[in-house]
Structure formats: structure tokens, C-alpha cells
Amino acid sequence: MSLERELARSAPWLQAALDRDAAHTLEDVRTEILSGKSLLWPGKASAAVTEQCRDLHVWLAGGDLQELRIMEQAASHWGRQNGFDRMTISGRRGWERVLTGYRTMLVKDL
């Protein structure tokens, strides 16, 4: 499936996450992904977006929690394979209860 189609299909999940983050719009997310600054991780019932800075940083995620947990593992593996030493997540503190291996502020060594 093309990136544009995956973006369109993922839009409802990403928008739900964006509704808690007034700093960005769905168009901002689209621009970041299409420019290559961020990566879209589409699932069957969820999606996440990572940016590649010093750390592999998950700045947006929404949809099915179980699928997002599996996607987090895949992103961790991808990060290790691509030279990242750490993964960070910005989000609600509730993520600390459902993801393992993170320290305070949801930082994970890869």
C-alpha cells in the first residue's frame, strides 16, 4: 500500500492522539512523514509516528493498545538495527504501566 494511502487510513488514530496535543495538526504530521523527518508505523488497527533525532522518539500513537505494544517492540528492534541507543516516548504517564523496559519519562535503552 502506498504511503499516502497508509497515512489516510491511519488518520483517525493519529487524529485521536493529536486531539490531546494542540501543538500539531494532522497536516503537520503528514509533512513530517513525507519529508522523511518522521516515520509512520501503520498497523491494522493503530498507528504511531517516530522521529529520528538523537534518540528514536515516538511522538504520536493511537489505536489498538495491544497492536501498539507489538509495534513498540518492532520499532525498538528497528532502532537497534539502525544505530540508535535509546528510544523515548512522549505521552501520558499511563504508557509506563503498559510498556516494559522504560525508566522515568519513558526512556528505553535499545
Q: In what order do the strands lie in the sheet with 38-42?
A: 38-42, 46-52, 56-63, 86-89, 107-109, 102-103
pLDDT digits (tens, 9 = 90+) for 13-53: 999 989 876 788 999 999 999 999 999 999 999 999 999 88
State the cell numbers at 16. 485521536
Q: Is the pTM of this model over 0.85?
A: no
Q: Give dist(CA 23, CA 64) in Å, integer.
A: 23
Q: What is the pLDDT of residues 59-74, one digit of tens each?
A: 889 899 899 999 999 9
Give all domains of the chain, ordered by start, each with its CATH number: 3-109 (3.40.630.30)
The H-or-E segment that residue 31 falls in is helix 26-34
For residue 26, the surrounding DSSP H or E stretch is helix 26-34
**pLDDT score recorded for residue 107:** 67
Largest CA distance in the chain: 37
pLDDT in tens, 94-108: 777 788 777 666 567
**Ramachandran bin of 103, using left for φ above 0, alpha for ψ from -120 to 50, beta for the remaining angles:** beta
